[in-house]
Amino acid sequence: MSVPPTSDYFQQNNGYPPQPGAPQYGIPSQAPPPPTGQGYPIQSPDSPVPAADTEPITNPPVVTVPGAGHKSRRQYAAEQYTFGTVPAAVDQMQAQPAPAAYGQPAYPGANTMYTPAGAPAVSPVAPGMQPQYGGFQPIGAQADAGLSQQFSQMSMGGVTAPAQNLKAPPQIGPLNQLYNIDLLQQLPPPISDLNLPPPPIVLPSNASVTNSPTANCPLPYVRSTLNAIPTTSSLLKKSKLPFALVIQPYTSLRDEEAPVPVVSDSIISRCRRCRSYINPFITFIDQGHRWRCNMCNLTNDVPTAFDWDSHNQKQVDRWSRVELNNAVVEFVAPPEYMVRPPQPLVYVFLIDVSANAVASGLVATTARTILESLDRIPDRDKRTRLAFICVNSSLHYFAIAPAPAGSEPTMLVVSDLDEPFLPVPHNLLVPLAECRSGIESLLNKLNDMFANSTSTTNAMGPALKAAHKLIGNVGGKIICLMASLPNVGPGKLEPREDKKTLSAGAEKSLLQTQNSFYKSFAVECSKSQVSIDMFLFSSQYQDVASLSNLPRYTSGQTYFYPGWNAGRSEDAIKFAHEFSEHLSMEIALEAVLRVRATNGIRMNTFYGNFFTRSSDLCAFPSFPRDQSYCVEVAIDETISKPFVSMQAAVLHTTSNGERRIRVMTLAIPTTSNLSDVYASADQIALTSFYAQRAAEKALSSGLQEARDLVGGKLAEMLQTYRKELMTSNVGASAPLQFCANLRLLPLLFLALIKHVGLRKSAQIPSDLRSAALDMLGTLPAKYLIQYIHADFYCLHDMPETAGRPDKESGEIGLPPKVNLSAERLERHGLYLIDDGQTQFLWVGRDAVPQLILDVWGLPALEHVKTGKTTLPVLETEFSQRVNAIIAKLREKKGSIIWPNLYVVREDGDPALRLWASTFLIEDRADQGQSYMEFLTNLRERIS
């Protein structure tokens, strides 16, 4: 969650603008300048990527390209030079290396190894092998021969073979190689690495029974911090690296956007001992009649119908079965997997109708959004039910009769807040399909019913108890929309934040729940299969720390809208879009998650929004699509296998009432070599894991302890690497060495420390911190990295492909990302900062009139409105390209968030400028360290 542009949220810092004499991250240079564009030298798509010692560009020529009607991508800079102003920042600009194409090696640890200057080329691909996702597979005829041998041994096609293990002993190829880099020489850090895949998982050639390219779990379903697992607990402890899995069972809001293969014949083969599901890494024995579990080694019988199509009454090809070829599958569960018949999808809308909610426009916007989203709510089986409860000083129920009755909804008011009750037994929770006309009538009149409300009371606690009483027997989702602090009845909260408590360092108490009602009630809801989502809108203190306990223990989510008012169209559009997407999201009901692993490996600690029912079972009343979860893994016994397997399974009921099991299987090689462990570490997964740890630490122990956790763990890794893998370097003047595949880990950890959820500041409201910590603990890795390390684009100097659709895919092209540093800001430039939650359009103080005219249609910079706004869509080409880029960045297949856009002028509002500058994490924004200072302190600390 980003900080609103309020001056007293922050105090003046030493990082913006850069102080004279501050260290600049210039790179020594000797290469010739790249090809020139219109205005100053640029890199064309076909230009070679410059080496680390590129020459800084000075006094570039002004080139005028003939054309009619529109501004070319460099003409704004060209005009600037015409006026005689040469931006100093150009001398420090360095193009980032372009990310390699998917599947291409782009950094040390890829299939074809990165080769430092002067080092011989090394490839881990063994002779006769070719790289493939999930391991190395035999080339050509060898693969066919191996498959034919397995067919013959399975007695298929009339060929009989002796009973034996169908796979030869696994022979693993070389693992990822380790390459050292000096972090202090990698300035500015190569942020293009954030777009690269992790070091590949190198498995034996015959690890899977089918050699399918989808046999191993792909990103982002399951991501491991280590893609080579230590064989012993002592080696893992020695490495100082955590072994954890980042699990995201769903990668999109709706099934059709990311379909998963389905085993539809209800044949589910599981290990009798460990209960793992059959997967591509098992072994068939006894002529294919039995299979050996890859988790616990137990031999199990193959189901008699495994090779038989009961629908068409014919034999089928075993090797084409979905579960033997895909690491991510869904099984249709038979009745024995159900405790009770699948329940319908249920929504209870708990709407604040106090004076604050009505005045801000929340009631009207909520009613209109629900009305317009009725067709988007999942209801394929026509069983979805809705209920509405409005709350101020009393509880307002609505009885809605089915359509044939033709009666209008009836409002029933209950004033007893100590023991809330249901006023009538029927027509409060109604089917959407049967009562559509009554629901529409209610939503059309809802705002008028409470238009004259003067009550400042919010009895949310009693309303929650009433909603639970209404749906507790079937389960479902309670959606709370609150614009004021609950101040009466059970769950009553008191204002407890002021500037004195913030400055006194009382953040720890402010981040913890004020009333035990919210934890105990959340646990009760979880047992009843009831999930709670919170949409919070108060412009004053709302105690997000207490209210967020409801989603945290019921697998819901907290969405915070500080200072929201429907009178601003941007606020109304943001909430309406996000709420509509939330309602249209397909959810899994009555779900449980369990992670199993090879013998000797144990799931230790789970992180995320859920309730832990037992040591290895996580309960989800509803399984959301826009969250991820972390599990820390422990090694209890020495591992003798060449690779280990881990399997996450989610048993759930789909939105249309079908019981299913989503299974994700991941295999990872083992090693007894510390260098292999470091060479295969995943910096994105490591950051995701420590973000979860830090969020939990902040809530339990305080912000300083959370920051110390992140900084201390990074120092331990660097110290271990220096001691165990770089023994030749000693002394304080030695370089700061780390492995190349983790070279952005210090930058990401610094970004985490400087994030609004953890940042050391007495000006950040506790509500804002609490909401940010909730996001750190739930965001999938893709969005989490952007949340802590925002994307930064230069728009006035972007390639011709940016902002235009690709000819083949139709996707809008984006400019290359640049480093988050004020060094990148030119006084005549136009920049975009996007952290996934908020967007900033930064306009330099010397922006030329033509740029202002093309983007805003205004004659000069002083006419540009700053703050939260919407860009006009003009007929100019540049306006359309900028708007296309902003719209493209707002598209999120796996998130409901619609970022607001703030326009920031370099000569405009200081508070707004300061807010935007806190995202430039490589600088000393908001009393923090610059990236160079951070690395220097790390070197001194480990020396």
- Which class is domain 346-584? alpha beta
Pairing of strands 229-230, 659-671: parallel
| pLDDT value at residue 15 | 32
Domains of the chain, by residue range, sit at 27-93+790-920, 346-584
CB 325 within 8 A of CB 280: yes
| pLDDT value at residue 820 | 96
| pLDDT band per the 50, 70, 90 thresholds, residue 34 | very low
| pLDDT value at residue 223 | 97
| pLDDT value at residue 418 | 86
Is pLDDT at 529 greater than 70 in this prediction? yes
State mean pLDDT over 755-775. 93
| pLDDT value at residue 310 | 75
Per-residue pLDDT tens over the stretch 700-712: 999 999 999 999 9
Cα–Cα distance, 458 to 196 (Å, whole number): 49
| pLDDT band per the 50, 70, 90 thresholds, residue 308 | confident
| pLDDT value at residue 711 | 96
| pLDDT value at residue 731 | 52
| pLDDT value at residue 266 | 81
Is pLDDT at 666 greater than 70 in this prediction? yes
DSSP assignments along 777-826, one per residue = TTS-HHHHHHHHS-EEEESTT--TTBTSB-TTT-PBB-PPB--SSGGG--
Mean pLDDT of the chain: 83
Amino acid, single-letter form, for residue 196: L
Per-residue pLDDT tens over the stretch 828-851: 999 999 999 999 999 999 999 999
Fold agreement between 27-93+790-920 and 346-584 = no
CB 385 within 8 A of CB 346: yes
| pLDDT value at residue 627 | 95
Is pLDDT at 616 greater than 60 in this prediction? yes
| pLDDT band per the 50, 70, 90 thresholds, residue 76 | low
- CATH fold label, 27-93+790-920: Severin (3.40.20)
Which range is least confidently modeled, 500-504, 732-736, 764-768?
500-504
State mean pLDDT over 486-496. 92
Q: Which residues contact 468 (CB under 8 A, 6 or more apart)?
A: 478, 521, 524, 525, 528, 530
Burial bucket for residue 91 (CB in 10 Å: 0-12, 13-18, 19+): middle
Tell me which residue of 253, 469, 558, 478 sits closest to 378, measured CA to CA: 253
Pairing of strands 395-399, 617-623: unpaired
| pLDDT band per the 50, 70, 90 thresholds, residue 615 | confident
CB 654 within 8 A of CB 586: yes
| pLDDT value at residue 170 | 56
% of the chain at pLDDT higher than 90: 69
| pLDDT band per the 50, 70, 90 thresholds, residue 504 | low
| pLDDT value at residue 125 | 36
The pTM for the full model equals 0.83
| pLDDT value at residue 339 | 86
| pLDDT value at residue 336 | 85
Per-residue pLDDT tens over the stretch 98-157: 333 323 333 333 333 333 333 333 333 333 333 333 333 332 333 333 433 443 334 333
| pLDDT value at residue 122 | 35
DSSP assignments along 596-623, one per residue = EESTTEEEEEEESSSEEEETTEEEEEEE
| pLDDT value at residue 411 | 95
| pLDDT band per the 50, 70, 90 thresholds, residue 501 | low
